[in-house]
């Protein structure tokens, strides 16, 4: 499986061009901006050129131990405004998505939903039966993306995160590939 370039009406999602001297400055700007990472678990990590290059090259390597992880850069014209990842469990035909729109000048423009829909559609076309994602209860922007993309809240994990030292619930959402759902047969019907 290769990670394809995906195009939407306003965006191009493409795997990063990986090489020894790849530019990761935009990632470092986002990951060190407390406003961008306020709800991300990335806020707990130290980010350097080396850690980012290692992180990026860990994606798009094919199936490893039953998992297939993909990374796309989200481009609006020539500008990289964010990234989106898919961590696919090949055996169970599920995928967990994560997104970061790092350029907050474009927040609220619908680019997150547009990228999310493109990757979800691609995964369903590739045979994934369910796409899922979790977020903090107070992350209203991510909850709006999930809602607009047709994901349903499936579970609440109480006090899963610590946000500014206070417990925060994780809301877990999912969306099924309607073509892959097998209806249950009920005895006697």
Residues 115-149 pLDDT 10s: 999 999 999 999 999 999 999 999 999 999 999 99
Extents of the domains making up the chain:
6-131
Identify the burial level of 68 via C-beta atoms within 10 angstroms of its C-beta, where 0-12 means exposed, 13-18 middle and 19 or more buried.
buried
Q: List, in order, residues 6 or more apart from 189 with CB less than 8 Å away.
A: none
Global pTM? 0.88
DSSP track, 52-106? HHHHHHTSSS--BTTEEEEEEEEEETTEEEEEEEEEEETTTTEEEEEEEE--GGG
Distance, in Å, from the CA atom of 121 to the CA atom of 128, rounded to the nearest integer, reads 10
pLDDT for 186 equals 63
The hierarchical CATH code for the domain 6-131 is 3.40.630.30
The pLDDT assigned to 53 comes to 85
| Alpha helices (H) in the chain, listed in sequence order | 25-31, 49-57, 111-125, 140-148
Which structure tokens are listed for 8?
A: 């939407």
Q: How confident is the model at residue 62 (pLDDT cuts 50, 70, 90)?
A: confident
CA pair distance 119, 123, nearest whole angstrom: 6
- pLDDT tens per residue across span 98-118: 999 999 899 999 999 999 999
């Amino acid at each position: 499986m290769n990670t394809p370039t995906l195009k939407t009406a306003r965006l191009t999602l493409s795997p990063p061009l990986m090489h020894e001297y790849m530019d990761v400055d935009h990632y470092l700007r986002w990951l060190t901006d407390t406003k961008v990472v306020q709800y991300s678990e990335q806020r707990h990590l130290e980010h350097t050129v080396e850690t980012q290059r290692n992180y990026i090259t860990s994606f798009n390597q094919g199936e490893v131990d039953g998992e297939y992880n993909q990374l796309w850069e989200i481009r609006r014209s020539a500008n990289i405004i964010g990234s989106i990842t898919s961590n696919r469990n090949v055996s169970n035909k599920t995928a967990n998505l994560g997104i970061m729109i790092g350029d907050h000048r474009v927040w609220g423009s619908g680019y997150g939903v547009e990228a999310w829909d493109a990757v979800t559609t691609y995964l369903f076309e590739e045979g994934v039966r369910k796409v899922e994602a979790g977020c903090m209860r107070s992350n209203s922007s991510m909850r709006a993306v999930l809602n607009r993309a047709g994901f349903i809240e499936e579970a609440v994990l109480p006090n899963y995160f610590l946000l500014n030292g206070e417990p925060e619930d994780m809301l877990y959402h999912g969306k099924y590939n309607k073509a892959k759902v097998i209806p249950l047969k009920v005895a006697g019907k």
